[in-house]
Amino acid sequence: MLIKDLKDCEEFMAGDGTIFRELLNPNKADLSIHYSLGQAVVKVGQSSQLHKLKTAEVYYIVAGEGIMYIDDESAAVTVGQAIYISPNSKQYIKNTGSLDLKFLCIVDPAWRKEDEEIL
């Protein structure tokens, strides 16, 4: 059994400018999964940087609210919503609320630095 506690995961600044903690990644541990799972945080009044991934991604909002931008579309997002981001989509998320915007990131296949491009 593997249990990872978010507070025990190293916090770092991701390439897109979010504060990130990676919980699961089969490229970094012996896991029989093909996706990675992490939590990102965007501080009040800030945005992630415009970027794209070669892989599919899902954001699941766990705290705060914002606006999600994917290619030529945008929509308000809030707690309890999941956002699908198709491979190679230009994307960023903006925190429009009064609390930190926190969301889980599921990347399939698992996130690798070489699959991400900051625009």
Q: Which domain holds residue 85?
A: 20-112
Give pLDDT, residue 60: 98
CB within 8 A of 59, min separation 6: which ones? 40, 68, 77, 82, 83, 85, 93, 103, 104, 105
Split into its structural domains, the chain has a count of: 1
- 4 is a domain residue: no
Domain of 60, CATH number, reads 2.60.120.10
- Is the full-model pTM beyond 0.75? yes
C-alpha–C-alpha distance, residues 94 and 44, integer Å: 9
**pLDDT, one tens digit for every residue, the chain (119 residues):** 889 999 999 999 998 999 999 999 999 888 999 999 999 999 999 999 999 999 999 999 999 999 999 999 999 999 999 999 999 999 999 999 999 999 999 999 998 889 999 99
CB within 8 A of 106, min separation 6: which ones? 35, 36, 37, 57, 58, 60
- 10 is a domain residue: no
- 49 is a domain residue: yes
- 24 is a domain residue: yes
